[in-house]
């Protein structure tokens, strides 16, 4: 199995919909399917948090947008990086600042 951003994004979305991804998370805990959401949360939250640390909030946002909302990556980019409707991560830092910091000469 290759763990890349796309695959981790799938696991993130599955975990956030209470589904266990055995390929990424490992064997499902005994009795998982019968657990309450609170009990599932205990098992899933560290795994979801780890994925978010690895692929970042932009990666998890993009995965949710594409997988759960069935929208394109292009639509996500327009929404996420819109200066008219800044994403919560961009509140004090505009898109041009991120591009400059990344050393890119392109504009959004």
Helix axes 37-63, 73-80, angle to 10 degrees: 90
Q: What is the pLDDT of residues 18-36, one digit of tens each?
A: 999 999 999 999 999 999 9
Asked if residues 54 and 8 have their Cβ atoms less than 8 Å apart, the reply is yes
Query: In this structure, what DSSP letter does residue 35 have?
Result: S
The 10s digit of each residue's pLDDT in 51-76 is 999 999 889 999 999 999 999 999 99
Q: How far, in Å, CA of 93 to CA of 23, rounded? A: 37
CA distances from 81 to 20, 41, 77, 85 (A): 31, 30, 6, 8
Q: Is the dihedral of CA 20, 26, 30, 35 positive or negative?
A: negative
The secondary structure of 63-88, three-state, reads HHHHHHCCCCHHHHHHHHCCCCCCCH
Please indicate whether residue 97 or residue 67 has the higher confidence score (pLDDT). Answer: 67
The pair phi, psi for residue 78, each rounded to 5°, is -60, -40
């Amino acid at each position: 199995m290759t763990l890349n951003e796309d695959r981790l994004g799938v696991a993130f979305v599955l975990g956030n919909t209470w589904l266990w991804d055995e390929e990424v998370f490992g064997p499902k805990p005994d009795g998982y399917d019968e657990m309450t959401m609170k009990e599932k949360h205990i098992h899933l939250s560290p795994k979801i948090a780890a994925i978010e640390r690895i692929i970042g909030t932009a990666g998890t946002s993009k995965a949710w947008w594409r997988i759960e909302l069935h929208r394109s990556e292009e639509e996500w980019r327009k929404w996420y990086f819109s200066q008219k409707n800044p994403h919560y991560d961009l509140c004090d830092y505009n898109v041009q600042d991120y591009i400059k910091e990344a050393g890119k000469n392109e504009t959004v």
